[in-house]
Amino acid sequence: MKKIFFASVMTLSLLSCRDNKSVNSPVDNVIDNAGSSASGSLKSYRGDELTVNRIYFELIKNDKNLTALNTKIENTFEETGRTLAVYKNILNTSTSYYQDAHQQTKSITDSLVRQQVEKEIMASSEQYNLNVKNIKERIDLINKNNETLTSLYTTFKIRKTLPEIEKYQNAHPLQKDSLDHFVNKQNSLLDELKNLR
């Protein structure tokens, strides 16, 4: 009986708390507009939590310049990945070859021949490294530029979305009145349950 009574009171309390929620008038902010759209574009993999990128993409949806900028940056990242993959494949193949050749010299039983072959491998490897030094430097520069591009774009997105989260916060001010009311209800119920025999 106590369990039924408790469950009923908790249900009524929750319903009354839901009724006490303030009804905000429609406010023009990206987060509410996106949240009410069918696309659910701001829902993250962890539930309804908002993220910078999701707010940013909702924000730029109707801005041709920002959409073009985003497309340009994404295309640059994709092109960088494709370009570097070709170079890295060739460089890795050569590196793997020299490692394998060095490993296989251990099976050469004649020590003089083994030493000579190791010198030849080393000379070829060093020459190849000299030949590709400029290539490796450019790959390092491209990777560094990618990091800088990511950093600058992240900075831009955060600065662009900060006003949006602030608009959302202003449109949904939190007040403790309804929480205080609910705490009082809970305390009253707790007192009542403590006095039950």
**What mean pLDDT is predicted for residues 124-134?**
97
Which pLDDT band holds residue 32 (cuts at 50, 70, 90)? confident
- Name which of 22-31, 65-74, 158-167 the model is least confident about: 22-31
Torsion of CA 165, 169, 170, 173, to 10 degrees: 180
- Quick check: 126 pLDDT over 70? yes
Which pLDDT band holds residue 5 (cuts at 50, 70, 90)? very low
Q: What pLDDT score does 125 carry?
A: 97
| In contact, 13 and 185? CB cutoff 8 Å | yes
**Residue 57 vs residue 9, higher pLDDT:** 57
CA atoms within 13 A on the CB side of 149: 15
- Quick check: 71 pLDDT over 50? yes
What's the rounded Cα separation, in Å, for the pair 108 and 117? 9
Which pLDDT band holds residue 150 (cuts at 50, 70, 90)? very high
Mean pLDDT of the chain: 82
Two tokens, residue 174: 């939190």
Q: What pLDDT score does 18 carry?
A: 42
Query: Pick from 87, 89, 53: which is nearest to 73 by CA?
Result: 53
User: Residue 39 burial by CB count (10 A; 0-12/13-18/19+): exposed, middle or buried?
Assistant: exposed
List of residues 6+ apart from 125 with CB closer than 8 A: 98
Percent of all residues in the chain with a pLDDT value above 70, rounded to a whole number: 77
- Quick check: 7 pLDDT over 90? no
Q: Model's pTM, two decimal places?
A: 0.65
